[in-house]
């Protein structure tokens, strides 16, 4: 079943052909074949959000998304959110607010929050909290993260 | 110059006495920074940033000139475990001494080069000066011998400041490790990609006590997989991660196990803990404490419990190992790399002549870890699998299911506590706690304490967990002695010494449940006395630091203010480990069809604050995590298997459930720094339980305080 040509997709704006078996989780392809280690493995069951990426705009758990589902699609990972080395506003806000402890959940949270801000540039606390409910944080930094994201919408642009 | 040419050994910190070589602590990096290596490790708590601040001040350089290097068994100092909120106290004190010694050596180098008196050489902000002359600290540091014995450096003669507060200490320096973690750069152990890396998986038994009877014929065709089996230890090494996962599925399906029903009834855990056999821990039994209550006194008592909990780190544990001839190199997120190394040496049949240089363990960060989780076990898994492929680095990453079921648990606990009360005062106290042990770290009780060792054909012993000694903060009985003036006290622990469930250290150890019990009973006693809970506590406190923390939290929370129906305020207070940080928590809880912790208002005294925002973050996180433990968490099992093996069966606090947390620090610049990571847990649990009582008039004594538990408690009061 190993494909002869591989699976074509776009990752962070670059066209790539992934040679991995099409059933391989997208996360494994990103981390190993493509060397994009910013997307983290947390549970492998799509339940913690550490591996969130955007697939044609939708936020998905890359650990339970097979490579085949990304064929022809546009994937954006945490690495693709920074602009020429400038952190995404969510990343900057998290750094400014020191809104992390171990940081392992942060990549997925950044991806999810960035997608929210695309739709709603000034979400309130309840909206941010509800949207991030699929992201787990064990260190207990939820409130700092909510404040950081809400703060972005309040800043004059 | 002073008369002494040698610093008195009594002034030298223990960690420096144990690691006297300068080069264990200090180096100059290739890119011209001062490398600082400690034996404590970053767990997401920000400790390396706080220690960099301390080191910078002691050296006389800016924080930007300091690079914190990973703990390493061969290159760095052995400072034991990163545990018990002792890192600032131990490594911080050591770094003040080491930094002052290095500063002295650098100043001496300048004095010698310039042929000027040492007394007038000044070291500030990375520069060394004498009059008009100056040189860079780093330039001079390169000339200092790393083999210098720190005990030979005369700090007194040069009057280098070894204790004072400097420029970096006291500031909220941004975490040094966060940019990598927030910007999605490789930083965690699973991100290591050494040349030739292969991926390993372990197929764990399905239940405690299960044995591997055999393997059905398997077809790992084309996967290029090395299978490793030793008794009931079953694993594989594959050239890629996806092949490792596919092969692991096939191997799991092919494995035939025999299982036994060894586990207790999950609805009768208290009875299981009380049944024994026990190791008895006598903490104190003061005269009169076991006598009948004095005349005119009434007695209030309660039984409080928590279930088994898990660490539930967001990353599963991971280890990397490579066998190179006589050298075994291990990368691990262990909290105690030296003990891990010793445990590996003890667990492997190595030629004793060739150890210990043969095994090198280096720390690499992983997700937050809240005690003894499976980090060490994963490292040993990697060691066993890598042995099958010499010269090749092997990364073993656990599954989420294994992380939640095979990592050491935090023991369930049950506490009977009672107080005699007369004229509004407590005049006698009794506290009995039943628990499994809280420490089974590598090399405990003479056993390696590495999970895979229990499954080998020639299995290594797996004794029940013990506890740190009473002088080391205890485990089962940690914080079992109330901070209050309560008359004669009897405090005892009863630690189960035979159990099928593996338990070890998780944040705060027994303090979480003991403080929950004590602080719940204080509220029950206050109610019986008809006195406000804060005033009641205040009346039983004689330590002024305790009083200030308690009163500050109450005041900031608006204690006594009017609240809507179904909403209540509750307080919890403790001094962690009796000699650590003081922490008071006021919880505001709304309890209607669900229990919602809306806000936690916290006052804390950690002595000298090294990094105020870092302390706040630790207290906020500790209290938020404790809210999760208190309101949601419980390890589930049937008589055979642990069944809570994912985030649906072991739910933890979600964003929309996280309380607002306000932290007020009472800085004590003249008093030693105390750790902050474990101060808030017990007080938070008690504050929530007391707030539920304030809201509904019902007391939940068995955690977690779920909506169902509240309903059950209401029904229990009705039928009582």
Count of C-beta atoms within a 10 Å radius of residue B115: 7
- Tell me which residues of chain B, numbers 577 to 616, contact chain A at a CB-CB cutoff of 8 Å: 613-614
Q: What is the pLDDT of residue B291?
A: 86
**pLDDT band of B350, cuts 50, 70, 90:** low
B475 has pLDDT over 60: yes
B296 has pLDDT over 50: yes
- Helix/strand/coil for B196: coil
HSE-up of residue B720 (Cα within 13 Å, Cβ side): 8
Contact assessment for residue A53 and residue A39, using Cβ atoms and an 8 Å cutoff: yes
State the Cα–Cα distance between residues B286 and B428, nearest whole angstrom: 10
Q: What is the pLDDT of residue B466?
A: 98
CB neighbour list of residue B402: distance below 8 Å, 6 or more residues apart:
B202, B204, B316, B374
Whether the pTM exceeds 0.90: the reply is: yes
Q: What is the pLDDT of residue B222?
A: 72
Nearest by CB to A141, from B240, B245, B621: name it: B621
- Tell me which residues of chain A, numbers 79 to 118, contact chain B at a CB-CB cutoff of 8 Å: 79, 81-82, 87, 91, 94-95, 98, 100-107, 110
**pLDDT band of B167, cuts 50, 70, 90:** confident
B273 — contact with chain A (CB < 8 Å)?
no
B502 has pLDDT over 60: yes
CB neighbour list of residue B704: distance below 8 Å, 6 or more residues apart:
B306, B307, B629, B630, B631, B632, B633, B634
A125 — contact with chain B (CB < 8 Å)?
no
**pLDDT band of B681, cuts 50, 70, 90:** very high
B680 — contact with chain A (CB < 8 Å)?
no
Contact assessment for residue B377 and residue B452, using Cβ atoms and an 8 Å cutoff: yes
Q: What is the pLDDT of residue B356?
A: 45
Q: What is the pLDDT of residue B290?
A: 87
| pLDDT, mean of residues B258-278 | 98
> Could you tell me which chain A residue has the CA closest to the CA of B313?
A138
Contact assessment for residue B514 and residue B483, using Cβ atoms and an 8 Å cutoff: no
- Measured between its terminal Cα atoms, the distance across chain A in Å is 51
| pLDDT, mean of residues B271-281 | 98
DSSP, res A148: H
Nearest to B642 by CA among B202, B200, B209, B201: B209
HSE-up of residue B219 (Cα within 13 Å, Cβ side): 1
The rounded radius of gyration (Å) of the Cα atoms in chain B is: 27
Contact assessment for residue B687 and residue B586, using Cβ atoms and an 8 Å cutoff: yes
Where do the domains of chain B lie, and which CATH numbers do they carry? 9-175 (3.30.365.10), 191-259+312-406 (3.30.365.10), 276-308+410-438+475-719 (3.30.365.10)
Mean pLDDT score of chain B: 94
Q: What is the pLDDT of residue B160?
A: 65
Contact assessment for residue B416 and residue B435, using Cβ atoms and an 8 Å cutoff: no
- Measured between its terminal Cα atoms, the distance across chain B in Å is 77
| pLDDT, mean of residues B372-378 | 98
Residue B439 corresponds to which tokens in the numbers above? 């420490």
Which chain A residues touch B600 with a CB distance below 8 Å? none
Classify B426 in phi/psi space as left (phi over 0), alpha (psi -120 to 50) or beta.
beta
State the Cα–Cα distance between residues B89 and B86, nearest whole angstrom: 5
A6 — contact with chain B (CB < 8 Å)?
no
DSSP, res B265: P
Nearest to B284 by CA among B489, B82, B511, B80: B489
Nearest to A62 by CA among A79, A43, A89, A84: A43
| pLDDT, mean of residues B698-712 | 96
**pLDDT band of B9, cuts 50, 70, 90:** very low
Q: What is the pLDDT of residue A155?
A: 76
Tens of pLDDT along A85-133? 899 999 999 999 999 999 999 999 999 999 999 999 999 999 999 999 9
Q: What is the pLDDT of residue B156?
A: 75
Answer whether B620 sits within 8 Å of A141, measured CB to CB. Answer: yes
**pLDDT band of B352, cuts 50, 70, 90:** low
Which chain A residues touch B633 with a CB distance below 8 Å? none
> Could you tell me which chain A residue has the CA closest to the CA of B662?
A143
B187 — contact with chain A (CB < 8 Å)?
yes
Let me know if B26 is exposed, middle or buried by CB neighbors in 10 A (0-12, 13-18, 19+).
Answer: buried
Q: What is the pLDDT of residue B208?
A: 95
Nearest by CB to B368, from A45, A101, A146: name it: A101
To the nearest whole Å, the CA of A156 is away from the closest chain B CA by 23
Answer whether A39 sits within 8 Å of B188, measured CB to CB. Answer: no
Count of C-beta atoms within a 10 Å radius of residue B542: 9
Which chain B residues touch A84 with a CB distance below 8 Å? none
B351 has pLDDT over 80: no
DSSP, res B317: P
Describe the crossing of helices B375-386 and B337-347 by its angle, rounded to 10 degrees.
40
B8 has pLDDT over 50: no
CB neighbour list of residue B87: distance below 8 Å, 6 or more residues apart:
B40, B45, B47, B51, B675
Q: What is the pLDDT of residue B166?
A: 62
Which chain A residues touch B183 with a CB distance below 8 Å? 38, 78, 82, 87, 91
**pLDDT band of B2, cuts 50, 70, 90:** very low
A130 — contact with chain B (CB < 8 Å)?
yes
Contact assessment for residue B455 and residue B203, using Cβ atoms and an 8 Å cutoff: no
Residue B526 corresponds to which tokens in the numbers above? 């206050």
A–B interface: beta-carbon pairs under 8 A = 179
Where do the domains of chain A lie, and which CATH numbers do they carry? 7-80 (3.10.20.30), 89-154 (1.10.150.120)
Q: Which of A16-30, B165-179, B181-195, B448-462 has the lowest mean pLDDT?
A: B165-179
Which chain A residues touch B613 with a CB distance below 8 Å? 98
B479 has pLDDT over 90: yes
Element (H, E) at B106: helix B93-114
| pLDDT, mean of residues B81-89 | 86
| pLDDT, mean of residues B362-370 | 96
Answer whether B655 sits within 8 Å of A20, measured CB to CB. Answer: no
């Amino acid at each position: 079943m190993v494909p002869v040509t591989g699976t074509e997709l776009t990752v962070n704006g670059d066209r790539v052909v992934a040679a991995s078996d099409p059933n391989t989780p997208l996360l494994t392809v990103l981390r190993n074949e493509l060397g994009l280690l910013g997307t983290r493995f947390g549970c492998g069951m799509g339940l913690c959000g550490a591996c969130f990426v955007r697939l044609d705009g939708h936020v998905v758990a890359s650990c339970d998304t097979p490579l085949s589902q990304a064929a022809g699609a546009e994937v954006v990972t945490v690495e693709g959110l920074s602009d020429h080395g400038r952190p995404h506003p969510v990343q900057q806000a998290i750094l400014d607010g020191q809104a992390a402890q171990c940081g392992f959940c942060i990549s997925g949270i950044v991806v999810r929050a960035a997608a929210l801000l695309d739709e709603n540039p000034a979400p309130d606390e309840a909206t941010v909290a509800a949207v991030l409910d699929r992201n787990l944080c064990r260190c207990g930094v939820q409130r700092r993260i909510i404040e950081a994201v809400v703060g972005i919408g309040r800043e004059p642009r | 110059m002073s008369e002494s040419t040698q610093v008195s050994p009594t002034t030298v910190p223990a960690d420096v006495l144990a690691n006297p070589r300068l080069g264990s602590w200090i180096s100059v990096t290739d890119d011209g920074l001062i490398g600082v290596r400690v034996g404590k490790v970053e767990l997401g708590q920000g400790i390396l940033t706080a220690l960099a601040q301390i080191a910078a001040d002691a050296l006389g350089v800016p924080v930007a000139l300091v690079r914190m290097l990973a703990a390493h068994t061969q290159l760095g100092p052995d400072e034991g475990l990163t545990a018990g909120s002792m890192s600032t106290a131990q490594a911080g004190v050591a770094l003040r001494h080491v930094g002052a010694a290095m500063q002295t050596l650098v100043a001496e180098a300048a004095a010698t080069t310039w042929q000027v008196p040492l007394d007038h050489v000044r070291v500030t902000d990375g520069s060394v000066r004498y009059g008009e002359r100056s040189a860079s600290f780093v330039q001079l540091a390169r000339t200092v011998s790393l083999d210098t014995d720190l005990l030979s450096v005369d700090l007194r003669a040069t009057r280098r400041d070894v204790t004072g507060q400097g420029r970096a200490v006291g500031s909220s320096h941004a975490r040094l490790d966060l940019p990598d973690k927030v910007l999605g750069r490789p930083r965690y152990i699973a991100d290591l990609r050494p040349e030739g890396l292969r991926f390993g998986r372990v197929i764990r038994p399905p239940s405690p006590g299960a044995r591997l009877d055999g393997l059905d014929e398997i077809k790992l065709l084309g996967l290029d997989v090395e299978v490793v089996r030793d008794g009931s230890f079953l694993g594989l090494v594959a050239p890629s991660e996806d092949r490792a996962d596919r092969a692991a599925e096939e191997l799991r399906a092919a494995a035939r196990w025999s299982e036994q029903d060894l586990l207790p009834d999950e609805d009768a855990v208290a009875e299981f803990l009380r049944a024994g056999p026990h190791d008895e821990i006598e903490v104190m039994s003061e005269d009169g404490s076991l006598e009948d209550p004095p005349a005119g006194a009434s007695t209030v008592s309660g039984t409080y419990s928590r279930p088994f909990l898990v660490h539930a780190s967001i990353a599963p544990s991971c280890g990397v190992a490579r066998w190179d001839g006589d050298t075994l190199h291990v990368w691990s997120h262990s909290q105690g790399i030296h003990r891990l190394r010793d445990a590996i040496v003890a667990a492997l049949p190595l030629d004793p002549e060739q150890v210990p240089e043969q095994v090198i363990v280096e720390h690499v960060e992983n997700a937050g870890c809240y005690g003894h989780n499976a980090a060490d076990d994963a490292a040993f898994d990697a060691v066993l699998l890598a042995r099958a492929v010499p010269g090749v680095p092997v990364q073993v990453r656990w599954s989420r299911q294994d992380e939640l079921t095979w990592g050491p648990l935090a023991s369930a606990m049950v506490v009977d506590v009672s107080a005699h009360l007369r004229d509004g005062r407590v005049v006698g106290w009794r506290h009995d706690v039943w628990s499994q042990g809280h420490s089974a770290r590598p090399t405990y009780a003479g056993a390696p304490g590495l999970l895979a060792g229990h499954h080998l054909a020639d299995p290594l012993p797996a004794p029940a967990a013990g506890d740190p000694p009473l002088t080391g903060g205890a485990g089962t009985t940690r914080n079992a002695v109330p901070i209050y003036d309560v008359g004669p006290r009897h405090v005892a622990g009863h630690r189960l010494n035979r159990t099928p469930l593996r338990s070890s250290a998780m944040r705060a150890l027994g303090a979480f449940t003991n403080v929950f019990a004590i602080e719940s009973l204080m509220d029950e006693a206050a109610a019986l006395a008809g006195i406000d809970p804060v005033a009641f506590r205040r009346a039983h406190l004689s330590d002024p630091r305790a009083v200030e923390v308690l009163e500050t939290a109450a005041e900031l929370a608006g204690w006594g203010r009017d609240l809507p129906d179904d909403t209540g305020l509750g307080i919890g207070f403790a001094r962690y480990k009796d000699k650590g940080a003081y922490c008071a928590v006021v919880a505001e809880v709304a309890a209607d069809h669900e229990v919602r912790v809306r806000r936690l208002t916290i006052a804390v005294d950690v002595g000298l604050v090294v990094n105020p925002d870092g302390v706040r973050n630790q207290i906020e996180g500790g209290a938020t995590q404790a809210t999760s433990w208190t309101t949601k968490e419980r390890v589930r099992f049937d008589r055979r298997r642990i069944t809570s093996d994912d985030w649906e069966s072991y739910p933890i606090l979600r964003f929309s459930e996280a309380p607002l947390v306000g932290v007020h620090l009472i800085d004590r610049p003249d008093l030693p720094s105390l750790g902050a990571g474990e101060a808030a847990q017990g007080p938070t649990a008690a504050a929530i339980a007391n707030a539920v009582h304030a809201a509904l008039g019902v007391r939940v004594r068995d955690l977690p305080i779920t909506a169902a538990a509240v309903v059950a408690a209401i029904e229990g009061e009705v039928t009582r």
